Amino acid sequence: MKKLNALLIIITLACSTFTILGELDQSIVVILKDASIFLTIFLPYIIEKIFKIELPEGCKTIWIIFIFLAHYLGVAAEFYNKWEGFDKVTHTMSGVLSAYVAAIILQYNKSKKLPFNILFILSFTWLCAGLWEVFEFTCNYLFGGDAQRVAATGVSDTMWDMIVAFFGSIAFSIYYIIKTKLK
């Protein structure tokens, strides 16, 4: 799994590098937006170092795939503008990913009560989805743009992003319940 993650990182960074090289005539904001993938792809490894924990390789794999889809294909390759449903796919996947992170956090919880764990997973996903939308809003406000598509949809895009992330966490919660019951 470590070799797969290394390969995925290399592919993502190579694609991003070629995209950035093709944008050198663009504004610094465009270049920095696309170059930020170099930091975000390594976030699980940074978290491991800061908190002195070891994340499962599967979690890192999901993260790398998510960053490739959301950041490289979505932002740099502009799939968000080219494919109407792409945004909802990535937000659903973010719900699954944040639910998985919540399940990892629960490993350190002494209480093993399933209803609490499910409530924590769902709440953690809502928190992550909400914080992401606040981040997008802040970037739109500071740098211009309309990542939340407010001009076209009002708040519908933001609300649907949060709803499909919640659906992703529900799907993960069902998996979590089945896995827990089978132990």
Q: What is the pLDDT of residues 71-118, one digit of tens each?
A: 889 888 889 889 989 989 999 999 999 999 999 889 888 777 999 999
Residue with the two structure tokens 């519908």 = 156
Which of these ranges, 107-111, 148-152, 159-163, has the smallest mean pLDDT?
Answer: 148-152
Q: Are 122 and 170 in contact (CB under 8 A)?
A: yes
Q: Which residues contact 67 (CB under 8 A, 6 or more apart)?
A: 12, 37, 40, 41
Q: In the prediction, which pLDDT does 106 show?
A: 92
- How far apart, in Å, are the Cα atoms of 175 and each of 15, 154, 169, 182? 33, 34, 10, 11
Sign of CA dihedral 131, 35, 48, 56: positive
Residue 155 pLDDT more than 90?
no
Rounded distance between C-alpha atoms, residue 140 and residue 128, angstroms: 18
Q: In the prediction, which pLDDT does 138 show?
A: 82
Across the range 5-11, mean pLDDT stands at 95
Higher pLDDT, 89 or 147: 89
Higher pLDDT, 32 or 123: 123
**What phi and psi values does residue 108 have, to the nearest 5 degrees?**
-90, 0
Q: What does pLDDT average to over the chain? A: 88
Q: Model pTM greater than 0.95?
A: no
> Please, how many CA atoms are within 13 Å of residue 117, restricted to the half-sphere of its CB?
23
Q: Which two tokens stand for residue 57?
A: 């390789």
